[in-house]
């Protein structure tokens, strides 16, 4: 068996390991963050279970840290008190970004992790099976329920040789994105192997597993080897280490070979993480903003890499450079060894260890300017500036370009000094910002500010339906398009009526009012509809506006699950049907519930032209029950 198969088979609850079939796996650990956590815990609370049933559950505060009104601060109180009540570790604001902190302090080889954030596979760097999911799935995992997924294909990404100077782990994953694109990983686990692995430290591996999310992959995983052991030992967690390797005769469904010696510094151009070019191709382009940090490339080693470059230099006067460490541990360590002093001397703006600019929580770039970021996503407008020009690159390329004021290939800057940072023998371990679960929690009173509104639910699936196409969109529409984030909208994550006013607001601000006045309707999407984040708000808020069905050429995994969980029926249509469907046309689904109950497809017809169409639902028996009940919460309550 390969590593992925070993991880799945040791957690298998139902199904078998044939790609394409639905399986269920048991979940050892969960993580939530504040932007998805409020919903996840409201959902968990509704299940009426006294305490989490996982081995470990952690609630992180890292996204909504900008407190421009009462909303985020109130949500933090809600999350802290609910964690205390239900036996959940609580990582306080300031302690760092969930994925970095989880890798440092909790990730365990051989275990499973389900997180309400799409970059949860970051922990796959330590040999875990880590998967991103909607909040409701995470709530169910906390309740001890298994997680259902389609058995993925396993892709062997074989890394051979050694990285050259100026080339980093970021360039490896950008190369994978260049070759496979943002939908190349859908239905797959990316398993890394080959002799190139032995030189890659766990933080470097995390750069790769983190951005597996941008491939649409179910997860990404590395074996647990000597590097993993060294990392856990340095984190004072040697007892958590176990070896996990693929068998010598392990088979894979697909193979990708990357010769590390041949890689060059790469960069993802606006506005998709797979729009990858060689840095050389865009060299010289003036840059106005450089951001180092986010949940990827914000480890101690990444920050040291940047600090080494910045030392004895000044940030170009036209550039605003921000540094957001991934964790308090990383910030503490660069402070102790004076790398922070080098960063400050160079003229960087040092931000708190949180998501910050990555999710438009401040630092929106200037109009028309190029912003160079070490982040994982550059979806249009995500930075907070309309028509933004965000490029994604390594911390080396970012730091060098911050000095020169233009996109610059770092190769000539790192000659002799090497581009690698060795794993420290000891990380600074201080878990005092992680509040452990209480022994006696029955007296805890959950604090609920006025922004926390009850979760809306819909009724059972309609027997028949006539509905208008409220919006038709193209390929690769992201959850940032469907339910935008940013400093203004994110504080409404625990208030569905308020946040629903922003559904599709970047693509068509009239969407919420048109949906409401039509009494709901249908959305038509292209390929890979709903790629990107795990935010279930991209399903709950449209459901609240009355959206009943999404007809698309194909769906991203997490978003499709979220649609089903909240009773929106995802239907796939072939390209010619997609082409024929027009915005504002009225569609009739004469036997909707019956079709879902009894057949693999759903018939519908254009009310004006009379043309009939067929769409596939591809639902498993379990998913059919969810859709017929009008969502998973209705079904859970019934049970
Ligand atoms: C993101 O990177 O888009 C987020 C914000 O972390 C999301 C979660 C969310 O929307 O709260 C994700 O990646 O799942
Ligand atoms: Fe936070 Fe950005 Fe990472 Fe999402 S991708 S968890 S917003 S840092």
Given the structure tokens 């398009």, which residue do they identify?
481
**Per-position DSSP letters for 396-455, written without gaps between them:** HHHHHHHHHSB---GGGGSTTT-S--PPPSS-----TTEEPPPS--TT------TT--PP
pLDDT band of residue 184 (cuts 50, 70, 90) is very high
Q: What is the mean pLDDT of residues 70-75?
A: 98
**Per-position DSSP letters for 415-427, written without gaps between them:** TTT-S--PPPSS-
Q: Would you call the peptide bond into 224 cis, given omega within 30 degrees of 0 as the criterion? A: no
Atom of ligand 2 nearest to the CA of 376: 5
Atom of ligand 1 nearest to the CA of 213: 13
**Architecture of domain 3-262 in this structure:** 2-Layer Sandwich (3.30)
Ligand nearest to the CA of 97: 2
Write out residues with Cβ below 6 Å of ligand 2. Answer: 63, 97, 117, 119, 294-295, 355, 358-359, 376-377
Q: Give yes or no for residue 409 having a pLDDT over 60.
A: yes
User: Quick one: what percent of the chain has pLDDT higher than 70?
Assistant: 99
pLDDT digits (tens, 9 = 90+) for 566-605: 999 999 999 999 999 999 999 999 999 999 999 999 999 9
Residue 533 and residue 561 in contact, taking contact as beta carbons nearer than 8 Å: no
Ligand nearest to the CA of 36: 1
* CATH class of the region 465-638: alpha beta
- Going by CA atoms, what residue is nearest to atom 3 of ligand 1? 533
Atom of ligand 1 nearest to the CA of 558: 14
Q: Name residues whose C-beta falls within 8 Å of residue 453's C-beta, 6 or more positions apart in sequence.
A: 494, 495, 496, 497, 498
In angstroms, what CA-CA distances link 484 with 106, 134, 146, 380, 390?
Answer: 30, 16, 30, 10, 17
Q: Give yes or no for residue 417 having a pLDDT over 70.
A: no
- Looking from the CA of 26 toward its CB, the CA atoms found within 13 Å total 13
**Tokens of residue 584, six digits:** 């504002």
In angstroms, what CA-CA distances link 47 with 541, 587, 632?
Answer: 21, 36, 11
Atom of ligand 1 nearest to the CA of 483: 10
Q: Give yes or no for residue 418 having a pLDDT over 60.
A: no
Pocket test for ligand 2, best of 32, 210, 294 (most atoms within 8 A of CB): 294
b/e for 293-329, b at 16 or more Cβ within 10 A? Answer: bbbbbbbbbbbbbbbbbbeebebbeebbbbbbbbbbb
Q: Give yes or no for residue 167 having a pLDDT over 90.
A: yes
Q: What is the mean pLDDT of residues 369-373?
A: 98
Atom of ligand 1 nearest to the CA of 359: 5
- Going by CA atoms, what residue is nearest to atom 7 of ligand 2? 359
Q: What is the mean pLDDT of residues 94-108?
A: 99
pLDDT digits (tens, 9 = 90+) for 322-343: 999 999 999 999 999 999 999 9
* CATH class of the region 266-408: alpha beta
Q: Give yes or no for residue 218 having a pLDDT over 90.
A: yes
Measure 447 CA to ligand 1 centroid, in angstroms.
24
Q: Give yes or no for residue 385 having a pLDDT over 60.
A: yes
Q: Considering the chain, what is the average pLDDT of its residues?
A: 97
Measure 356 CA to ligand 2 centroid, in angstroms.
8
Residue 395 and residue 168 in contact, taking contact as beta carbons nearer than 8 Å: yes
Ligand nearest to the CA of 135: 1
- Going by CA atoms, what residue is nearest to atom 4 of ligand 1? 533
In angstroms, what CA-CA distances link 635 with 22, 145, 567, 623, 631?
Answer: 19, 14, 11, 11, 7
3-state secondary structure of 254: strand
pLDDT digits (tens, 9 = 90+) for 465-503: 999 999 999 999 999 999 999 999 999 999 999 999 999
Q: What is the mean pLDDT of residues 113-121?
A: 99
pLDDT digits (tens, 9 = 90+) for 257-315: 999 999 999 999 999 999 999 999 999 999 999 999 999 999 999 999 999 999 999 99
Q: What is the mean pLDDT of residues 251-255?
A: 98
Ligand nearest to the CA of 101: 2
Pocket test for ligand 1, best of 533, 556, 562 (most atoms within 8 A of CB): 533
pLDDT for the residue numbered 419: 65
pLDDT for the residue numbered 565: 98
- Going by CA atoms, what residue is nearest to atom 3 of ligand 2? 295
pLDDT band of residue 420 (cuts 50, 70, 90) is confident
pLDDT for the residue numbered 416: 58
Atom of ligand 2 nearest to the CA of 293: 8
pLDDT digits (tens, 9 = 90+) for 438-448: 988 989 999 99
- Going by CA atoms, what residue is nearest to atom 2 of ligand 1? 533
Domains of the chain by residue range: 3-262, 266-408, 465-638
Measure 355 CA to ligand 2 centroid, in angstroms.
5
Atom of ligand 2 nearest to the CA of 117: 6
306 lines ligand 1 (CB under 6 A): no
Beta-carbon neighbour count of residue 30 at 10 Å? 29
Q: What whole-number distance in Å separates Cα of residue 636 and Cα of residue 632?
A: 6
Ligand nearest to the CA of 324: 2
Beta bridge mates, 604: 613
Two domains, one topology: 3-262 and 266-408: yes
| Closest residue by Cα to residue 189 from 143, 146, 154 | 154
Ligand nearest to the CA of 541: 1
Atom of ligand 1 nearest to the CA of 480: 3
pLDDT band of residue 637 (cuts 50, 70, 90) is confident
User: Quick one: what percent of the chain has pLDDT higher than 90?
Assistant: 97
533 lines ligand 1 (CB under 6 A): yes
Beta-carbon neighbour count of residue 48 at 10 Å? 9
Pocket test for ligand 2, best of 358, 377, 479, 558 (most atoms within 8 A of CB): 358
Residue 587 and residue 610 in contact, taking contact as beta carbons nearer than 8 Å: no
pLDDT digits (tens, 9 = 90+) for 25-45: 999 999 999 999 999 999 999
494 lines ligand 1 (CB under 6 A): no
In angstroms, what CA-CA distances link 384 with 381, 408, 625?
Answer: 6, 25, 39
Question: Reading across the β-sheet that carries 370-373, which strands appear in turn?
Answer: 276-278, 266-268, 389-392, 370-373, 289-293, 320-324, 349-350
Pocket test for ligand 1, best of 36, 209, 540 (most atoms within 8 A of CB): 36
Q: What whole-number distance in Å separates Cα of residue 395 and Cα of residue 378?
A: 16
pLDDT for the residue numbered 412: 87
535 lines ligand 1 (CB under 6 A): yes
Torsion of CA 540, 546, 552, 555, to 10 degrees: 10
pLDDT band of residue 638 (cuts 50, 70, 90) is confident
Q: Give yes or no for residue 607 having a pLDDT over 80.
A: yes
Q: Give yes or no for residue 5 having a pLDDT over 60.
A: yes
Given the structure tokens 């708190």, which residue do they identify?
352
pTM of the model: 0.98
Burial of 620 (0-12, 13-18, 19+ CB in 10 A): middle
Ligand nearest to the CA of 382: 1
């Amino acid at each position: 068996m390969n590593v992925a198969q070993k991880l799945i088979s040791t957690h298998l609850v139902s199904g078998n390991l044939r790609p394409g079939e639905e399986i269920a796996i048991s979940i050892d650990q969960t993580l939530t963050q504040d932007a998805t956590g409020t919903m996840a815990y409201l959902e968990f609370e509704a299940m009426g279970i006294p305490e989490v049933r996982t081995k470990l559950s952690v609630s992180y505060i890292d996204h909504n840290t900008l407190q421009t009104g009462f909303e985020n601060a109130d949500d933090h109180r809600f999350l802290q008190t609910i964690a205390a009540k239900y036996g959940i570790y609580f990582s306080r604001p300031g302690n760092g970004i969930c994925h970095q902190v989880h890798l440092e302090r909790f990730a365990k080889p051989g275990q499973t992790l389900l997180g309400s954030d799409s970059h949860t596979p970051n922990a796959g760097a330590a040999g875990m099976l880590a998967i991103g999911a909607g909040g409701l799935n995470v709530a169910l995992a906390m309740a001890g329920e298994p997680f259902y997924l389609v058995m993925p294909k396993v892709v062997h990404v074989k890394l051979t040789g050694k990285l050259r100077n100026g080339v980093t782990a970021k360039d490896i994953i950008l190369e994978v994105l260049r070759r496979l694109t943002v939908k190349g990983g859908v239905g797959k686990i990316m398993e890394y192997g080959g002799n190139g692995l032995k030189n890659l430290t766990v933080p470097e591996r995390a750069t790769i597993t983190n951005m597996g999310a941008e491939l649409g992959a179910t997860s990404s995983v590395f074996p647990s080897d000597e590097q993993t052991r060294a990392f856990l030992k340095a984190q004072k967690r040697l007892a958590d280490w176990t070896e996990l390797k693929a068998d010598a005769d392990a088979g894979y469904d697909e193979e990708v070979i990357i010769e590390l010696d041949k890689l060059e510094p790469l960069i993802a151009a606006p506005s998709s993480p797979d729009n990858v070019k060689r840095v050389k191709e865009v060299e010289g382009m003036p840059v106005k903003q450089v951001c180092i940090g986010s949940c990827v490339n914000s480890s101690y080693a990444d920050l040291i890499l940047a600090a080494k470059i910045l030392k004895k230099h000044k940030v170009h006067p036209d550039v605003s450079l921000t540094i957001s460490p991934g964790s308090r541990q990383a910030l503490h360590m660069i402070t102790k060894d004076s790398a922070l002093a080098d960063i400050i001397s160079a003229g960087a703006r040092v931000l708190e260890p949180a998501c910050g600019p990555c999710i438009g929580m401040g630092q929106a770039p200037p109009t028309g300017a190029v912003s160079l970021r070490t982040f994982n996503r550059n979806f249009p407008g995500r930075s907070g500036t309309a028509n933004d020009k965000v490029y994604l690159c390594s911390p080396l390329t970012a730091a060098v370009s911050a000095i020169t004021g233009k996109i610059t290939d770092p190769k000539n800057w790192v000659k002799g000094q090497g581009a690698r940072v060795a794993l420290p023998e000891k990380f600074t371990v201080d878990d005092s910002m992680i509040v452990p679960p209480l022994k006696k929690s029955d007296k805890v009173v959950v604090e609920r500010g006025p922004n926390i509104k009850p979760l809306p639910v819909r009724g059972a699936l309609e027997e028949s339906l006539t509905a208008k196409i409220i919006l038709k969109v193209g390929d690769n529409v992201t959850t940032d398009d469907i339910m935008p984030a940013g400093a203004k909208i994110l504080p409404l994550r625990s208030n569905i009526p308020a946040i629903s006013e922003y559904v599709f607001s970047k693509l068509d601000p009239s969407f919420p009012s048109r949906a409401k006045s039509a009494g709901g309707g249908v959305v038509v999407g292209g390929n890979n509809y709903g790629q990107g984040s795990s935010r279930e708000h991209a399903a709950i808020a449209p459901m609240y506006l009355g959206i009943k069905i999404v007809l698309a050429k194909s769906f991203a995994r997490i978003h499709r699950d979220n649609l089903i969980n909240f009773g929106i029926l995802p239907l796939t249509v072939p390209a010619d049907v997609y082409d024929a469907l027009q915005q504002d046309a009225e569609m009739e689904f004469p036997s909707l519930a019956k079709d879902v109950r009894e057949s693999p497809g759903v018939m519908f017809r254009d009310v004006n032209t009379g043309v009939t169409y067929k769409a596939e639902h591809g639902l498993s028996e379990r998913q059919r029950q969810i859709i017929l009940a009008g969502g998973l919460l209705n079904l859970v309550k019934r049970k």
